[in-house]
């Protein structure tokens, strides 16, 4: 088993988790803006926030999928030892 490669993969996995968490935080902030727009409507800003929300959600899904695949590779490597 190549411990250095496993350690590097764990570090990469940690960074991927951080990216996912950051995207989820962005979604939360976008939701706060959308909620604020209920009291002070702005159709253009609402549309922009809806688009940003969708893109951020798609990013979370993509990163989550990448994490799952990478975890499987890491687990396979760890189990070879």
Reported as a pLDDT band with limits 50, 70 and 90, residue 81 is low
Distance (Å, whole) CA 64 – CA 47: 26
Reported as a pLDDT band with limits 50, 70 and 90, residue 22 is very high
Q: What is the end-to-end Cα distance of the chain in Å, rounded?
A: 5
pLDDT at 1: 58
Reported as a pLDDT band with limits 50, 70 and 90, residue 77 is very high
């Amino acid at each position: 088993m190549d411990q250095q490669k496993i350690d590097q993969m764990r570090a990469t996995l940690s960074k991927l988790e951080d990216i996912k968490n950051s995207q989820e935080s962005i979604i939360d902030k976008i939701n706060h803006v959308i909620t604020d727009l209920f009291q002070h409507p702005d159709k253009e800003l609402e549309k922009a926030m809806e688009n940003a929300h969708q893109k951020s959600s798609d990013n979370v899904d993509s990163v989550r999928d990448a994490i799952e695949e990478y975890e499987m590779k890491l687990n396979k490597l760890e189990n070879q030892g």
